[in-house]
Structure 1
Amino acid sequence: MRRLTGTTWRRVAVIAVSAVCVGYAPIAMTELWPYARPGAPAFGEWILGHMVSPRYVADALATRIEPYRHSLVPLIAHSVLGGLLMLLGPAQVLTAVRRRARLHRALGVVFAVTVYASMAGAAVYLARTAPEDAFSGAAFWIVLATILVGTVLSVTFGVLSAVGGHPDLHQRWMLLCYAFLLTAPLLRFEWGGLPLILPGLPMTEINRVATMHLGSVVAFGALIASRSLDRRRTIAGVTRSWAPPPVLAVAHLAGAAALFWIVRSCLDFGAPGRRLLLAYLLPYAATYAVMAFSALRTGREGRLWAREEWRLHWAALCLAPVLSAGAAPLFERTLRLDRLTAVSAGAAIGCGALATAATLVVSLRVMYAREVRKRAALTGVTTAARLSTPVS
C-alpha cells in the first residue's frame, strides 16, 4: 500500500474542509428564517432532528424565540453573510493555489468586508443580549464574544500583512481567521455527534461540553495548516530563540499550577464538572503532545524556523491555563456568575486567546528578523562605501 505524501494529505484536508464549508453554507443562511417567518425551511434543524431526535432540537430552540426577537435583523445578516464566508474561504484557497493573484486580491477584499459586516451583526446581538440569556448560558456568551474579537483581529492583521508585503504572515492570519469562522459548522457537528457519547443530555449541556475545546481545536488546526505550507528551514535574521528552554520551563511550571487549580475547581462540582473537565483536558493533552513532539523533532532535524514557531505556540499553550485561571475569578465577580460557569468560561477561551497571541509573537519574530537583516545589509553597504573612499 502506497504511503500518502504530505502533498496528498494537504489536498485531502483542503477537499474535506471545502466540502464542510460548502455543505454548511445553506444551513447557515437559512438557520434563522423560521424565527422571522414560522414554517420557513431550516435545513440545519431538519438534519439535526433526524440525527438525534426532533424533541432534542425543539426543546433547545424553543428558548431562543425571545432573545433572538430583539436582534433578529442583525442575526439574520450575520448568518447569511456567514454562509457566504463559508463559500469565499475555499474560493480564496483555490485562487491562491492556482496563483490567480488578481482574483485572489479581489475576493480577499470581499472576504474582509464580509467578515466585518457579519461580525457587526453578531456584535449587535451580543450587546443586546444579557450573558445569562445566551444559548446554554453566560459561558457561551463569553466564548462567542471572544471568537468575535479573535476573528476581527485576525482578519485585520491579515489585511495589514498583505498591504505591508508580508505574504507568509498574511497567510497565517487568514488561516486563523477562517479557523475561528469554522467554529460554527464544527459546533453543529458536535451537536449531532456528542449525543452518541453523552446520551440523554439536552442540547444546552452538549453545547457547554463542545465549547470547552472548540476554540483551541480550530486554532490548533490553523497552526497545522500554517506549518504544512511553510517549508522554510531557516529565516535570515532569526538567530536566538524567543522561547529558549528556561522560558519553556517557566511556562510549564506556571501552566501546571494553573491547570491543577482548574482541575480541582471542576472536580468540586461532581458529574457536570467532570464532564466539562474531560472535554477540556483531552484535546489539550493531544495538542500539547503534538506541539512538544514537533518542536523536538524539528530541532533534531535542523529545521530551526519550524522549531521556533512550534516553541512559541508550545509556550503559549502552557500559559493558556494561566489566562483561564485568572479570567475565572474576574468573570465570577464582574458578571456575577456561579463558580463552575466562570471556570468553564475561562477554560473555554484560554487556548484560543493564547494561540492568537502566539501568532502575533510569531509575526513580530519574523518582522524583527527582517529588520535585523535590513540593518545588516545597510551596515555592509556603509562599510563598503567607506573602504572604497580614497584617502585624501
Structure 2
Amino acid sequence: MGVTRWGRVAAFAVIVGCVAYAPVAMTQLWPYASPGAPAPGEWLMGRIVSPEYVAEAVRDRIGPYGRSLVPLIVHSVLGGLLMLLGPVQYLSAVRRRRRLHRVAGTVFAVTVYASMAGAALYLARTAPEDAYSGAAFWVVLATILVGTVGSVTFGVLAALARFPDLHQRWMLLCYGFLLTAPLLRLEWGGLPRLFPGLSMAEINRIAIMHLGSVVVFGALLASRALDRRTTVPGVRGTWCPTPLFVAAHLAGAAALVRLSLSLLDGPGAEGPRLLLGYLVPYAVTYAVMAAGHRRAGRRGAGWAREEWRLHLVALCLAPVFSAGAAFVLERFVRLDAWTSLVAGVAIGCGVLAFAATTVVSLRVMYGRELLAREAEPPAVAAAAADEQEAGRR
C-alpha cells in the first residue's frame, strides 16, 4: 500500500500522539477512585491552563462519575490499550504482517466491545442533563459509542467476507471515532487560549461542534492515501449523477444558513462561539474534499472521484440531517430547543460520514456481484431466472 510523504508524516504524528495519550487515558479516573492518586493528564492540564480550570472540572464530575466508577475505569483503561493497538494494526497492515495483523485485530475488536460496554453502562446510569457539559454532550457520547461499535462490527464482517479495502475503511473510521478522546484533551489545552476565561464544560460544547467532522474527515483522508487504485472491478459510472449532486449542495446550503442563524440567536456569546467552532472546520473539510474530487476527475481516477463524490454529498447533507435531528430531539426526547440544536449540529457530520462509508461499501459489494453475474454461464443464469419465476408463481 503506497503512502504519500505527507501521509507518512500524519501517520507518524498520530502514532506518537496515541502512544503518549495511552497512559493518560488509563490513569485519568484514578483520582475519582482514590483521591490524591497520580493523574498525569490532570497534572499536565493544570500547568497548560490553570489548576483552577482542572479543579472545577473534577469537582463537577465527582457525583455522576461516582455512580458508574467501575464501568468508567474499565472504559478508560481499555481505551488506553486501544490507543496502543491501533498503531500495531496500522503498521502490521502496511508491512504486510498478516498473522500479527489478524491476532492484533481480534484483540482490538474484543477490546472495543468491552470498552464501549463500560461507556454504555455509564450513559445508561446517567441522565442526559446530569452528564458533564449537559445533555448535548450526552447525545454526542452516545452517537460516538454507536458509531464506534457499528464501524468495528462492519470492519470485522468485511474481513470475513474478504473485502480488505472495505475492512480498512471501517477500521479507520472506528479508530477515528476513538480518537475523539485524545483530540478533546488537546482542545481542553488549546481552546482556552482562544477563549480565555471559559470553563472546561464550555470548552467541551465548542469542541463537540467539530470533533465529529474532524475525525471522520481524517479517516477518509487515510483511506484515500492508502487506496491508490484508479478503478475498482465492477464499479462503473456513478451512484450520484449531477442533478443529485447539485440538489444535495442546494439543500445543504439552505440548511446551513438556517442552522447558522439559529446558532447566532443563542444565549449571550455562546451562540457565535459555537457557530465559529462549527463553520470553520466544516468549510476546510469541504474545500479539501472538493479539491480531491476535482483532482481525481482530472487525472481520470474514477474510483477516487466516486468516493470523494459520495462523501461530498454526505457532507452537504449533514446540515439537513442536523436540522432534522434537532427537531426530533426537541419534539420526542423532550430536550429544550437550544440543547436540541447544539446536539443536532454536533452529530451531523459523524452520522453522515458513517452513512457515506456504508454507501461506498455497498458500491464495492454491488460491483463484485455484478462481475459474478457477468461471469455466470448463460445456461446457469437462465435456470436461475426460471427457478425464481417458479418461486414467484
Cα deviation digits, residues 166-190 of structure 1 (max 9, x gap): 0000000000000000000000000
Q: Distance in 2 between matches of 1:95 and 1:301?
A: 31
Hey, what does 1:388 align to over in structure 2?
none
Hey, what does 2:119 align to over in structure 1?
122
Cα deviation digits, residues 35-85 of structure 1 (max 9, x gap): 111111111100000000000011111011110111000000000000000
Hey, what does 1:313 align to over in structure 2?
311
RMSD: 1.4
SS of the residue aligned with 1:310?
helix
Hey, what does 1:387 align to over in structure 2?
none
* Alpha-carbon contact 2:188-2:203 (below 8 Å) kept: yes
- Deviation at residue 13 of structure 1 after TM alignment: 1.4
**More displaced stretch, 208-217 vs 261-270:** 261-270
- Deviation at residue 293 of structure 1 after TM alignment: 1.5
* Alpha-carbon contact 1:22-1:86 (below 8 Å) kept: yes
Is residue 107 from structure 1 mapped to residue 72 from structure 2 by the alignment?
Answer: no
Is residue 61 from structure 1 mapped to residue 58 from structure 2 by the alignment?
Answer: yes
Hey, what does 1:89 align to over in structure 2?
86
Q: Distance in 2 between matches of 1:303 and 1:324?
A: 32
Q: Distance in 1 between matches of 2:172 and 2:236?
A: 26
* Alpha-carbon contact 1:313-1:358 (below 8 Å) kept: yes
Is residue 211 from structure 1 mapped to residue 211 from structure 2 by the alignment?
Answer: no
Hey, what does 1:250 align to over in structure 2?
247
* Aligned positions of 1:132-171 closer than 5 A: 132-171=129-168
* Alpha-carbon contact 1:30-1:43 (below 8 Å) kept: yes
Specify the code of the residue in structure 2 equivalent to 1:372: L
Is residue 188 from structure 1 mapped to residue 185 from structure 2 by the alignment?
Answer: yes
SS of the residue aligned with 1:86?
helix
Hey, what does 1:325 align to over in structure 2?
323
Q: Distance in 2 between matches of 1:300 and 1:380?
A: 38
Q: Distance in 1 between matches of 2:366 and 2:23?
A: 43
* Identity within the alignment, %: 70
Q: Distance in 2 between matches of 1:105 and 1:145?
A: 29
Q: Distance in 2 between matches of 1:159 and 1:305?
A: 23
Note closer, same or farther for the CA distance 1:382–1:332 as it changes in structure 2 (3 Å cut): closer
* Alpha-carbon contact 1:273-1:340 (below 8 Å) kept: no
- Deviation at residue 335 of structure 1 after TM alignment: 3.4
SS of the residue aligned with 1:302?
coil
- Deviation at residue 6 of structure 1 after TM alignment: 5.6
Q: Distance in 1 between matches of 2:379 and 2:16?
A: 52
Q: Distance in 2 between matches of 1:305 and 1:241?
A: 9
Q: Distance in 2 between matches of 1:263 and 1:9?
A: 34
* Alpha-carbon contact 1:212-1:279 (below 8 Å) kept: yes
- Deviation at residue 264 of structure 1 after TM alignment: 1.2
Q: Distance in 1 between matches of 2:16 and 2:162?
A: 31
Hey, what does 1:41 align to over in structure 2?
38
Which of 300, 303, 308 is 2:301 aligned to?
A: 303
- Deviation at residue 236 of structure 1 after TM alignment: 2.0
Hey, what does 1:176 align to over in structure 2?
173
Note closer, same or farther for the CA distance 1:381–1:238 as it changes in structure 2 (3 Å cut): farther
Structure 1's consecutive aligned runs of 4 or more residues displaced over 6 angstroms after TM superposition are 380-383
Q: Distance in 1 between matches of 2:295 and 2:142?
A: 36
- Deviation at residue 381 of structure 1 after TM alignment: 9.0
* Aligned positions of 1:70-89 closer than 5 A: 70-89=67-86
SS of the residue aligned with 2:120?
helix
- Deviation at residue 10 of structure 1 after TM alignment: 2.0
Q: Distance in 1 between matches of 2:71 and 2:200?
A: 24
- Deviation at residue 380 of structure 1 after TM alignment: 7.0
What are the ranges of 5 or more consecutive residues in structure 1 without an aligned counterpart? 384-392
TM-score normalised by L of structure 2: 0.94
TM-score normalised by L of structure 1: 0.94
SS of the residue aligned with 1:243?
coil
* Alpha-carbon contact 2:128-2:138 (below 8 Å) kept: yes
Q: Distance in 2 between matches of 1:197 and 1:160?
A: 43
Specify the code of the residue in structure 2 equivalent to 1:144: L
* Aligned positions of 1:349-388 closer than 5 A: 349-379=347-377
* Alpha-carbon contact 2:256-2:320 (below 8 Å) kept: yes
Is residue 199 from structure 1 mapped to residue 193 from structure 2 by the alignment?
Answer: no
- Deviation at residue 300 of structure 1 after TM alignment: 1.5
Q: How many residues align?
A: 379
SS of the residue aligned with 1:241?
coil
Which of 199, 220, 238 is 1:241 aligned to?
A: 238
Q: Distance in 2 between matches of 1:35 and 1:53?
A: 20
What are the ranges of 5 or more consecutive residues in structure 2 without an aligned counterpart? 382-393
- Deviation at residue 338 of structure 1 after TM alignment: 2.6
Hey, what does 1:224 align to over in structure 2?
221
* Alpha-carbon contact 2:3-2:226 (below 8 Å) kept: no
Note closer, same or farther for the CA distance 1:188–1:232 as it changes in structure 2 (3 Å cut): same
